[in-house]
Amino acid sequence: MSQQEQLGFRALADPTRRSILHLLAQGDLTIAQVAENFQMTRAAVKKHLSILHEGDMICVQAVGKTRVNTLNPNGIKNAASWFGYFDAFWDEKLATLKTEIEKDMQ
Amino acid sequence: MSQQEQLGFRALADPTRRSILHLLAQGDLTIAQVAENFQMTRAAVKKHLSILHEGDMICVQAVGKTRVNTLNPNGIKNAASWFGYFDAFWDEKLATLKTEIEKDMQ
DNA sequence: ATTGATAGATACCGAATGGTATCATGTCAA
DNA sequence: TTGACATGATACCATTCGGTATCTATCAAT
C-alpha cells in the first residue's frame, strides 16, 4: 500500500468531496464557486479541497486573486485502478456468489 | 449519493480493510485466519470485517463454530462503478492536463 | 492609501474512527 | 455436561475528522 493510494482513498471517503469531484467534472471552479453549492462555510470547503489536492484528485492553479480548482484525471484513474486487482478473481467468484449470498442471509 | 455508496467508500478508506480484501481475493478465510495476517487483536480485525460487511464488500457464512469471510464481487464492482461518472470527461481533460499540472507547480 | 473581495491559517468543538481489554455466547467434542 | 475454542459484544481510550469562528494576507480598483 502506497501513501499516495491511502491519500486518494481518504479523499474519496467523504460524500461532500465525491460531490465536489462530480461538480468539477462539469467545469473548473474557484473555492468560492464550489462553496456556493454546499451549505457549509467556505473554510470547510477549502479543507475538503485541500484533502482532494493531497489525494491528487484535483489541481489548483492561481488565476489573479482566485484559485481555480481543476479535476485531475490521473489521480482519479489511479484510484480506480486499485479495483483492477480483483479482475482475475471475479469470474470465478461470480459463479458461486448466489449460493454465498443465500448463506449470508441466515 | 446513496447510503450504500457511502458505506462502501467508508469501508475502503482504511488500508487494513483494503488489505483484507486483497487477502480474501486469494481465498476465503475465517476471522482468526484473517487476524493472523495483521499485528492487531482479533477484535480489531473483527471490527474491520464488520465494516467491510456493512459496505457489502464481503459475505459472511457460518461454518460450524467459525465464520468464513468471502469476497463480494458485487459490492466491489459497485464501488468501482462510481468512477464511471468521469468517463465522459476524461478525454477532454487529458488533452489539457499537462498544462494544468505545470501551473499547479507554481 | 483605503477599501472590499478572495483566500490562507489557526484554534477549537463534537462526533466518528481505530484500537485494546474484557466478558458473554455458542458450538463442537469427549 | 463439561471444557475448549472461535466468535460476539461492550466499555473505554487516543486520534482523526468534519465543521465553525476568527484572524491575517493578498490583490484589485477607486
B52-64 pLDDT per residue, tens: 999 999 999 999 9
Q: What is the pLDDT, as a whole number, of residue A89?
A: 80
Interface probe with A: pick from B1, B61, B99, most Cβ of A within 10 Å? B61
Given a cut of 80, is residue A12 above it in pLDDT? yes
Residue B36 confidence (pLDDT) above 60: yes
Q: Which pLDDT band holds residue A53 (cuts at 50, 70, 90)?
A: very high
Helices B3-12, B15-25: crossing angle, 10 deg rounding: 90
Which residue has its C-alpha nearest to nucleotide D22's C1'? A43
A67-103 residue pLDDT tens: 999 999 999 999 999 999 998 887 766 666 555 555 5
Strands (DSSP E) contained in chain B are 29-30, 58-63, 66-71
Residues paired with residue A59 on neighbouring β-strands, in sequence order: A70
Confidence of residue A38 (pLDDT cuts 50, 70, 90): very high
Q: Which 11-70 residues of chain A touch chain B by CB within 8 A?
A: 12-13, 15, 18-19, 21-22, 25-26, 59-62, 70
The CATH code of the domain at B3-105 is 1.10.10.10
Contact A35, A45 (CB under 8 A): yes
Residue count of chain B = 106
Structural domain boundaries of chain A? 3-105
**Adjacency order of strands within the sheet including B58-63:** B29-30, B66-71, B58-63
Whether the CB-CB separation of A29 and A42 falls below 8 Å is answered with no
